[in-house]
Amino acid sequence: MASMASMASPLTRRGNCVRNYGKGYNGRPSISRIVVSQQRHQQQPQPERSRSNDQVTRREIVLRSSEIAAIAAILNLSGKKPNYLGVQKNPPSLALCPATKNCISTSENVSDLTHYAPPWNYNPEARKKPISREEAMAELVQVIESVKPDKFTPRIVEKKDDYIRVEYESPILGFVDDVEFWFPPGKKSIVEYRSASRMGNFDFDVNRKRIKTLRLELEKKGWGSEGSF
């Protein structure tokens, strides 16, 4: 008795299923194989925040900033001006720094890496056209008023022929740092300075960064530094 070869049935695709239909027992079509593909979960797009919500958020930030500023004013976080600021008499120089790590001064010993900073020279050797002390003072004032290191607001509170004192106020909390500049007498074109925070023990290098920012702006005008830090 001769055997008959069975014919392969066609594949029918519908949606995500692949079915193989063939003749089974009693001549009825049977499903011999079903392959179901897995669908990937699609992330639902997040709805955009309404414009009103953004406005509320900004309004809250402004209100909270005002509250913080009011608290800072009540607590007097600006601190009190030290009574030893200004040019010292014996010897003539700016004041030394306290033991805290929130002050730098050109009056410190060079070996004090925490507090020492080198003075500036407004007529370095590389400068082709020297300027007078009055011109140097004007350039320094212009840089002080136009630059806001770390967003501190400068305010010149004292100015003499050879001396400038500036109060730098921090945003929001209103902490105040005292920065002094002194043009010593003599033929040398040297500028001494001192930058110190009134409160706290650490300044996270705010005073050093401030002086460096001012120095870089003055270098664009031809100034130089007597050392690096």
Is the predicted pLDDT of residue 98 greater than 80, yes or no? yes
**Looking at the domain assignment, is residue 57 inside a domain?**
no
% of the chain with per-residue pLDDT over 70? 66
Question: How distant, in Å, are the alpha carbons of 85, 104, 113 from that of 28?
Answer: 106, 97, 95
**Looking at the domain assignment, is residue 209 inside a domain?**
yes
**Looking at the domain assignment, is residue 71 inside a domain?**
no
**Looking at the domain assignment, is residue 84 inside a domain?**
no
Instruction: Report the 10 Å Cβ neighbour count for 88.
Output: 14
Task: Give the N- to C-terminal CA distance of the chain in Å, as an integer.
Answer: 105
Torsion angles phi and psi, residue 209, rounded to 5: -65, -35
Residues 116 and 205 in one domain: yes
Give this prediction's pTM.
Answer: 0.67
Residues 30 and 117 in one domain: no
| Dist. CA 181–CA 226, nearest whole Å | 15
Residues 107 and 27 in one domain: no
Torsion angles phi and psi, residue 97, rounded to 5: -90, 150
Q: Which CATH number is 159's domain given? A: 3.30.310.80
Report the interhelical angle of 206-219 vs 133-146 (nearest 10°). 120
| Domains in the chain, number | 2
Selection from 189, 185, 218 nearest residue 93 by Cα: 185
Residues 32 and 120 in one domain: no
Identify the domain containing residue 33 by its residue range.
10-37
Residues 130 and 219 in one domain: yes
Is the predicted pLDDT of residue 218 greater than 90, yes or no? yes
CB 192 within 8 A of CB 209: no
At 145-185, the pLDDT tens digits run: 999 998 999 999 999 999 999 999 999 889 999 999 999 99
At 31-62, the pLDDT tens digits run: 344 333 444 444 555 555 544 455 555 555 44
pLDDT of residue 22: 44
**Looking at the domain assignment, is residue 89 inside a domain?**
no
